[in-house]
Structure 1
Amino acid sequence: MYIRCAFFNGRVKPGREAEFTAYVREKLVPLWTRFPGAQEVRVMRQEDSDSDAQRYEMVLAIRYPSHAAIEQALASPVRAESREVTGGLMEMFEGSIFHTVFRADDFPLPTD
């Protein structure tokens, strides 16, 4: 499987935390869950870190069955729409976003 992540490196502007959270849930999640080929959409918000060097306000992780499925999603109209809507989110955010793709393997936990 493959997981494409968007790392939001930075912080929400002070006083806009609730607005940021609502914007993600109400405007962006409905788009992200419509990406063709997506098998899972996970939005993670940083609670704690063992390093002050980096702050990831949010990480978006979307799981796909193949690299070809990612390419299809990136070329889709819903992805273009989500990029446009993300512009509104950036008005509440101080930082940058970068994307990366991971190849992932699942391992079952021991059952003893």
Structure 2
Amino acid sequence: MIIRQAFFEGTIHAGKEEEFKAYVADRLMPLWLSFPGVREVRVLYNIERDEGAPSYPMVLSTMYDSREALATALESPVRYESREVTKGLLEMFDGRIHHHVFDLALN
């Protein structure tokens, strides 16, 4: 399995935390769940971190069967639609988003 994660490094604007979460749930999650080949979509919200650790208030994690399935999803029209909708989310966020792809070790 292939896991792609988007790390939101920075801060949600003060007082916008609940609006941010509602925007993700109402506007973005339906799009992310409709990516072709996606097996799982998880949104993680930070509740604590080590002292001095970077701030990741949100991480988006998606799972695919293969790198080919991920590539198909990343080229799909819904992915480009979600990128446009994400612009509204970024109005409540200061920072950057970076992506990482992992091979899930199955025990």
TM-score (norm 2): 0.97
Instruction: Write out aligned runs for 1:84-103 (5 A).
Output: 84-103=84-103
Deviation at 1:51, TM superposition (A): 3.5
- Aligned partner of residue 94 in structure 1, secondary structure: strand
Counterpart position of 1:51: 51
**Alignment deviations for residues 64-95 of structure 1 (CA, whole Å, 9 cap, x no partner):** 00000010000000000000000000000011
Deviation at 1:50, TM superposition (A): 1.5
Counterpart position of 1:18: 18
Counterpart position of 1:79: 79
Counterpart position of 2:2: 2
1:94 and 1:52 map into 2 onto residues whose CA distance is 18
- Aligned partner of residue 57 in structure 2, secondary structure: strand
Aligned residues: 107
Counterpart position of 1:110: none
1:51 and 1:69 map into 2 onto residues whose CA distance is 38
TM-score (norm 1): 0.93
1:89 and 1:49 map into 2 onto residues whose CA distance is 23
Counterpart position of 1:106: 106
Q: Which runs of 5+ in 2 are unaligned?
A: none
Identity of aligned residues (%): 52
Give the aligned residue type for 1:38.
V
Cα RMSD after superposing both structures: 0.8
1:36 and 1:80 map into 2 onto residues whose CA distance is 13
2:53 and 2:44 map into 1 onto residues whose CA distance is 19
Larger radius of gyration: 1
- Aligned partner of residue 56 in structure 1, secondary structure: coil
Q: Which runs of 5+ in 1 are unaligned?
A: 108-112
